[in-house]
Structure 1
Amino acid sequence: MGATYSRGFTDAELQQIITASEQLYQIYANYCDMVLVNGNLELAFSELCHAVAKLDSEPCWIPSSWIE
């Protein structure tokens, strides 16, 4: 059995998560304005707050089919 990390994931589980994440990124990256990494909680929260504030204050492009 692989090593267990503080979050309770084995090496195999972490590899599956990484592989799935890479596949999702390849498929959907063109729909995303940013990637939020779940690593340092304070940094991730700060980046999320900044992104929300930016969405609230700056115009952004979305496909017209999303608003119909």
Structure 2
Amino acid sequence: MASSKIPLSVRITDAIHRTTVLGLVGICVVGIGSITYNVYRNSDFAKMNENKLTFNKEQYHEARKEEDN
């Protein structure tokens, strides 16, 4: 076998390196996925936001004028 010719310390270091790289890639994939999910859920494309209240600047200024009086 080819693995028996490689020293044990090299095999252990290789296993640690592979685990570290896979862990970092996994964390990046999960992070990018969660950011993408949150951006989608807070966008106007999400089904849950179909009845979202819209903000109209004119209505805001009119309401502020009524409160000041």
Question: Could you tell me the TM-score, scaled by structure 2's length?
Answer: 0.33
Higher RCO (Cα < 8 Å, 6 or more apart): 1
Larger radius of gyration: 2
Q: What TM-score do the two structures reach when normalised by structure 1?
A: 0.33
